[in-house]
Structure 1
């Protein structure tokens, strides 16, 4: 199983945003950060998951992927595979299109204190813009 921690940071709502992704394979951690563009914080959180799944698609196809996020809205939405918010629907669709590349993808909400590494990556990337 591959464990993936995602987080996003935005300056403004919407505003410049960035994502941090930490991929854990066994005892090995790989860190990534991305500038996303102008998005709301919630949109950036969905985009962080999309970036993470794109990375995993290249590196770990057909694996079991556990996405860990402190963004409750993302975890709840993906657990239900549904959103009433039309603004989020394109992100949900993108994530759902990536999921078949894996044996299984599941989402788990974690407290912010357990997601510090991904948070720091996103914030650092945002500061460097």
Structure 2
């Protein structure tokens, strides 16, 4: 089973955004930072899950995926496979499409303090792109 931690960050809402993906597979740890452009924090959180699924499709195409996110909106939307927010619906469809390629895909909410690796990676993506500190 692959453990995947995702986080999105935004400097402003909307503003420059980043996605962080931290993957644990056996004794290996993988870290990814992506600058996303200008998005709201919530959209950045969804984008982080999409980026992580794309990485897993490339690196672990037949594995069981256990995702963790500190975004209740993302976790609830994916678990219910429903959103009233029109901005989230196409993102949910992308997630569902990518997740269907795996034998099992799970997502669970975790507190921010358990998601520090992914949070740091998301913030680094913004810092590297904008050359400004984000805390």
Q: For this structure pair, what is the TM-score category when the shorter chain's length is used for normalisation?
A: over 0.9
Aligned to 1:18: 18
Deviation at 1:125, TM superposition (A): 1.3
Secondary structure at 1:31's aligned position in 2? strand
CA distance, structure 2, for counterparts of residue 109 and residue 42 of structure 1? 14
CA distance, structure 1, for counterparts of residue 15 and residue 127 of structure 2? 13
CA distance, structure 2, for counterparts of residue 19 and residue 51 of structure 1? 8
Secondary structure at 1:101's aligned position in 2? coil
CA distance, structure 1, for counterparts of residue 23 and residue 73 of structure 2? 21
Secondary structure at 2:50's aligned position in 1? helix
Deviation at 1:62, TM superposition (A): 2.1
Report matched runs for 1:1-80 at 5 Å. 1-80=1-80
* Structure 2, unpaired ranges of 5+: 130-135
- Normalized against structure 2, the TM-score is what? 0.93
Secondary structure at 1:9's aligned position in 2? strand
Aligned to 1:95: 95
Aligned to 1:82: 82
**Regions of 4+ moved over 3 Å:** none
Aligned to 1:115: 115
- Normalized against structure 1, the TM-score is what? 0.98
